Chains A and B, each alone.
Chain A
Amino acid sequence: MTTDSPLLSVRDLTVDFSPGSGRLPAVDGVSFDIAPREIVCLVGESGSGKSVTALAAMGLLPPSAAVSGDIDFAGRDMTQLSRRQWQKVRGAEIGMIFQEPMTSLNPVFSIGRQLVETLRAHERISLRAARERVVDLLNDVGIPSPRQRLDDYPHQLSGGMRQRVMVAIALSCSPKLLIADEPTTALDVTIQGQLLDLLGALRESLSTAILLITHNMGVVAETADRVVVMYSGRVAEEADVFTLFDRPSHPYSAGLLRSTPNLAHTARRLTTIPGAMPNPADPPPGCLFAPRCAMAEVTCDAGRPAMRVLPGGQRSACIFAGRPPG
């Protein structure tokens, strides 16, 4: 944890799409902070609740979702915002990038028009000045000959270029926070590297904090300052990125790190985590990871483990946290 007052502070966030059904909520008691200029990775597998957490932080949950907990952004209580107030914040103070740029861009408008529109929605600026700003923005995100590209439509661009346009739109009003949900998952590896570099460079040049949602431990290793590992809607562990990779304090994070194939270890056999994510309709009684955990004991079934704070600020939801990993 940093000593700066956090830019975004999420406390005990719970999101339930079917309250009263007995199913596990999609997000259950999630807390974390992001400091100004910090890159925090929210990592987990499908069904971990990481995207729903991001949607909540963007005020984009459907009205049918039962939400509780606190979300503070730049000193404001975001849970009290009206739809109109949210619209002012999104785009201006919080930028967003999603996995699939093709579905996030409007196919019938040129990218220049979409960027100009975003700028003018939040700032009083002439059309001509807006177009100039857009050229600069496209240039900043590494789109070659940006002036010629202005009149291109999304389908005329490659996936990597479309994602750069999304980054340009997200950054057009110099937001304090950028929320990126799996921004490189649909891209090829060589393009993924380019985009991660771009995000890192933009943090440096624009002082934007980034909440990066990913399932890829390699992306975490490349970008994160701090990491929040989620499992079945709950935070399993939170740590700075070096501590997480060196001394994971939750068996799930440890397993995730071990089962990720990488070029560093050449063993022909991959380590696996047995089993699968629990069924939300029929969750285990205690620790949600216990059925897959090699360390699990009877005590693990006695209620959901509380978050423990370890020396150095690492937080873990394992009752054995702090013990040497087994």
Chain B
Amino acid sequence: MSAPLVEVEGLVKHFTLGGSNILLRRKPVVRAVDGVSFHINERETLGLVGESGCGKSTVGRLILKLLEANAGSLRFAGEDLLTLPPERLRKLRSDMQIIFQDPQSSLNPRLTVEQIILEPLYSQGARPSAELSRHAAGLLEKVGLPVRFRNRYPHQFSGGQRQRIGIARAIASNPRFIVCDEAVSALDVSVQAQVVNLLQDIGAEMGISYLFIGHDLAVVRHISDRIAVMYLGRIVETAPTETLFAAPLHPYTRALMASVPISHPGLRRRRQRLPGELPSPLNPPPGCPFHPRCGFVQDICRSQLPPLRLISTGHEAACHFAESFLETRPVPGAATEMGGYGDADH
């Protein structure tokens, strides 16, 4: 097997709060990303899921070097991004793109669609030309927008169309890797499905690897080959998509699956909901960060941080008792319908 396209090892990002307040002797530190490791293969889509504040978006920005990591290593196509000289990094940037959640604020309102789409190429030194114009037309066609829209401005488009413009811009430089940061979360359902399918088609056609960051497990499942689940700055579980849904090994993953709204009113039943809320990343609980909300908590969980361990082929979990979930029946009917975190039978 060839080397992964993206390799992340022990990535750490802490934000210091308090600004320039010299009266604060010890400034509070948010441990947004606290030792995250994963890889993404060529042509593979890795889904990164978690709730707000878990650090998933920070991971996306760290990989693209939109933020500087405090520690860890970061390799893209074999190059060490953290030590790469700036001009080499600049070259490499055309291989790495991002699609943001809000196409309203991520498209420059004063540029035409064509200028927006071609911006990544201009920033690499390209100059406007008839050839580039043809390229832009081809991109518009690819994302399903009429070419005659090329001279319009972002405000003249609907949310779904703007997200298509964002996709056209992301693929303009023929990248190998795109970070989709909640790229379809702001869209209406009927449009969301169109954009998800478009991302899949383009990925397959152009051989793009995606890091698909999202909070909606159902959407992430549709697009991802593998999924990593984050909680409070750490990855708590990662597995091939279908393995994860058939046999989730971390209590948080199980809880997250049980929280996804049901698909039919016939599936209503009293479910045990995950109690409590995400703790503050300013002051994470000792031991396993999930222990205050976990229904399976033991003494060891309160003092010892469980490392992410390989449990079965390609399936890692950061729970002291991950193996015990192999024994229990998977979340009842996981392959067909979720709903059983802490159901009566475990």
Contacts and interface: CB of A to CB of B under 8 A. Distances in A.
Interface string B91-135: 000000000000000000000000000000000000000000000
A261 B264 contact: no
Given A188-B51, A218-B260, A261-B222, A270 B197 contact: yes
Contacts of A221: 261-265, 267-268
Interface stretch (A23-31, A91-99, A252-260): A252-260
A219 B218 CA distance: 14
A108 B260 CA distance: 35
Nearest to B278: A188
Interface stretch (B170-178, B185-193, B305-313): B185-193
A266 interface: yes
Contacts of A161: 277
Is chain B's binding surface mostly helix, strand, loop or mixed?
Answer: helix
Contact of A256 (B190, B194, B219, B274): B190
B149 to A, nearest CB: 13
A222 B222 contact: no
Contacts of B52: 188
Interface in A182-220: 188-194, 197, 215-220
Interface string B175-213: 000000000000011111110110010000000000000
B64 to A, nearest CB: 25
Interface in B252-283: 255-268, 271, 273-275, 277-278
Contacts of A126: none
Contacts of A68: none
A271 B219 CA distance: 12
A261 B160 contact: no
A92 to B, nearest CB: 31
A276 B51 contact: no
A219 B261 contact: yes
A150 B246 CA distance: 44
B265 A241 contact: yes
B263 A263 contact: yes
Contacts of A264: 263-264, 336-337
Nearest to B218: A261
B221 A261 contact: yes
Contacts of B193: 259, 261, 270-273
A185 to B, nearest CB: 11
A245 interface: yes
A323 interface: no
A63 to B, nearest CB: 28
B338 interface: yes
B59 interface: no
Contacts of A188: 51-52, 215, 278
A102 to B, nearest CB: 14
A112 B218 CA distance: 38
Contacts of A224: 265
A45 B188 contact: yes
A190 B342 CA distance: 14
A268 interface: yes
B222 A270 contact: yes
Interface centre among B51, B158, B190, B196 (most CB of A within 10 A): B190
Interface footprint category on B = 35 or more
B271 A193 contact: yes
Interface in B235-264: 242, 245, 255-264
A263 B218 contact: yes
Contact of A276 (B160, B260, B262): B160
A150 to B, nearest CB: 19
A18 interface: no
B276 to A, nearest CB: 9
A269 B259 contact: no
B247 to A, nearest CB: 14
Contacts of A265: 263
A158 interface: yes
A161 B278 CA distance: 12
Given A189-B256, A193-B273, A242-B266, A216 B190 contact: no
A5 interface: no
B190 A189 contact: no
A189 B215 contact: yes
Of A219, A242, A266, A272, most B-chain CB atoms within 10 Å: A272
Contact of B265 (A191, A192, A245, A269): A245
A160 interface: yes
B256 A190 contact: yes
Contacts of B300: none
A215 B264 CA distance: 15
Choose among A45, A263, A265, A277 the residue with the greatest number of B CB atoms under 10 Å from its CB.
Answer: A263
B301 interface: no
Contacts of A194: 273-275
The list of the 9 closest CB pairs from A to B, nearest first, reads A218-B261, A262-B263, A45-B188, A273-B190, A188-B51, A270-B193, A259-B193, A261-B218, A189-B259
Interface of B: 51-52, 158-161, 188-194, 196-197, 200, 215-219, 221-222, 242, 245, 255-268, 271, 273-275, 277-278, 335-338
5 contacts: A158-B277, A188-B215, A217-B189, A222-B261, A263-B260
